[in-house]
Amino acid sequence: MQPEDGSKKDVIVVGAGVVGLSTAITIQERGGYRVTIVAETLPTDPRTIHYTSHWAVSSRSSNFTSRSTGIQGSTPLTFTEVDRETFERMWNDSEPDGPLSGCFFRHTHTDFRGDDVDPTEWLGYMPDFRTVPQNELVPGSTHGWSFTTFSLHPSVYLNCLLGRFLTNGGTVVRARLQHISQAIQGGITALPQQPNGVIVCIGLGARFLGGIEDKDIFPIRGQTIVLKAPWVKYGRTLSSVDGLCSYIMPRATGDVLIGGTKVANDWFPVPRKEDRDDILTRVLALCPELAPPDVRAERTPTIDDLRFLIIDEGCGFRPGRKGGVRLETEWFEGGGGTKIPVIYNYGHSGMGFQSSWGFASIVLRLLEDALKNCESRDTRED
């Protein structure tokens, strides 16, 4: 049984991207908490370079988890476990007759690789996982794997998460924090003035928020294109030996997301023509079937045949971080000499969607451990 509302603890989640929303819902569904999200930008807003989640590729495949990325902080879980927990939750949500089925599109994905990475360790549990025979490899690849997965439409999914949070009694406050103390000690009228805990899920914003100003955070620019190609019902990825990744990701709408680029410390906020042409060239080589069937029936397609299919393009800044994801608790002074736990959950690079629920579970454990420490300290002082 959940406690009466008056005995619930107040938790503020800073940030309303996929990591912030997933974290807020996880804490909320635990019971015993009143959760408030504070953010400058929400999923319902027009797309902006300041909100990364709208631009995400958002398909579960091997190229979006960097095995070299670490976690700053103490956690007993590995990246494989975090990813797997997230996949299993999203897989259940993607059931064709489920309440969130409109957000997802299940399909076969083939991951071709020209490097020496073997993703079997962290992809072997995927449905229908198999090794691709040599005679099915595409140019530029030396090995590959195929499995059943899903893609999702970021803006639709984010709004579903926001709706779930609000329906369950959550509160959203639109505000721009200039310093983390404004969440800890009050100062934003609509926020709880004495929260029991604060969770920071602001991605690249951690570089600029006063009291944190984490200079280890940096942008990893990614540019993508959306084609209208409803005849393509499968996904493909090609990871080359030089680290370049090309991909096609179908969506339930009949659109296909293609990409991409991955350039660290590139702050250019709009699509570049040269990147567009490079992406079109790479994905056409990876999947000639992207061209309209009538064109392919008559001649070899060119990237000009794909230009007519473009319905959208954009770029976003993945929140990269030296040292990996920051996942730890820091104690700040609250009002009246109290100590307030601030838990960090940011720096997920390009894997925010695919690890969101797994990291949210860890944050919940960190929060509950911190609050137990508060209760123990209060008991000792009494």
Structure tokens at 325: 């994801």
pLDDT (tens digit, 9 = 90+) per residue, 237-246? 999 888 789 9
Instruction: List, as one string, the DSSP characters of 226-255.
Output: EEE-TT---EEEEE-TTS-EEEEEE-TTSE
pLDDT (tens digit, 9 = 90+) per residue, 78-103? 778 899 999 999 999 999 888 888 89
Amino acid identity at 150 = F
pLDDT (tens digit, 9 = 90+) per residue, 266-284? 999 999 999 999 999 999 9
Question: What is the pLDDT averaged over residues 114-137?
Answer: 90
Q: Residue 193: what pLDDT? A: 85
Q: How confident is the model at residue 75 (pLDDT cuts 50, 70, 90)?
A: low
Tokens 């339930």: give the residue: 252
Q: Residue 121: what pLDDT? A: 81
Query: Per-residue pLDDT for 37 more than 80?
Result: yes
Percent of the chain with pLDDT over 90: 76
Structure tokens at 368: 């509950």
The radius of gyration computed from the CA coordinates of the chain, to the nearest angstrom, equals: 22
Query: Per-residue pLDDT for 189 more than 80?
Result: yes
Instruction: List, as one string, the DSSP characters of 80-134.
Output: HHHHHHHHHHHHHHT-TTSTTGGGEEEEEEEEEESSS--THHHHTTSTT-EEPPG
Q: How confident is the model at residue 63 (pLDDT cuts 50, 70, 90)?
A: very low
In this prediction the pTM is 0.92
Question: What is the pLDDT averaged over residues 104-126?
Answer: 89
Structure tokens at 358: 């797994």
Instruction: List, as one string, the DSSP characters of 340-372.
Output: EEEEEEE--TT-HHHHHHHHHHHHHHHHHHHHH
DSSP 8-state symbol, 187:
-
Which residues lie below 8 Å from residue 251, measured CB to CB, with a gap of 6+? 105, 151, 152, 153, 257
Q: Residue 1: what pLDDT? A: 35
CB 331 within 8 A of CB 342: yes
Question: What is the pLDDT averaged over residues 28-35?
Answer: 96
How distant, in Å, are the alpha carbons of 7, 31, 91, 94, 122 from that of 3? 6, 8, 31, 32, 39
Q: How confident is the model at residue 61 (pLDDT cuts 50, 70, 90)?
A: low
